[in-house]
Amino acid sequence: MSRRQCILAAGLNAKTRVHGLGDGARWIIDQFGEQFGAQGTYLVDFYHSSEYLAGAAPVMNQRQPKMWLRRQQGRLLSNRLGSVLKSLLTKQEPKEAAESPVRDAHRYLTERANHLDYAGARKANLPIGSGEIESGHRHVIQQRLKLSGAWWRERNAEAMLSLRVCRANQTWLPYWTNFAAIEN
pLDDT in tens, 84-101: 999 999 999 999 999 999
Phi-psi region for residue 63, left (φ > 0), alpha (ψ -120 to 50) or beta?
alpha
End-to-end CA distance of the chain: 17
Q: What is the mean pLDDT of residues 71-95?
A: 96
Q: What is the mean pLDDT of residues 106-112?
A: 97
Q: What is the mean pLDDT of residues 68-73?
A: 97
Per-residue confidence band for 128, with pLDDT thresholds at 50, 70 and 90: very high
In this predicted structure, what is the pLDDT of residue 45? Answer: 93
In this predicted structure, what is the pLDDT of residue 49? Answer: 95
Least reliable range by pLDDT among 36-45, 103-112, 159-168: 159-168
pTM for this prediction: 0.71
Domain boundary assignment for the chain: 46-123, 130-184
In this predicted structure, what is the pLDDT of residue 153? Answer: 82
Separation between Cα atoms, residue 16 and residue 44, nearest integer Å: 20
Of residues 147 and 119, more confidently modeled: 119
In this predicted structure, what is the pLDDT of residue 172? Answer: 74
Confidence check: pLDDT of 177 > 60: yes
Residue 100 contacts by C-beta under 8 Å, 6 or more apart in sequence? 92, 93
Q: Are strands 18-22 and 40-44 parallel, antiparallel or unpaired?
A: parallel
Interval 9-64: pLDDT, tens: 778 888 989 999 999 999 999 999 988 889 999 999 999 999 999 999 999 999 99
Per-residue confidence band for 114, with pLDDT thresholds at 50, 70 and 90: very high
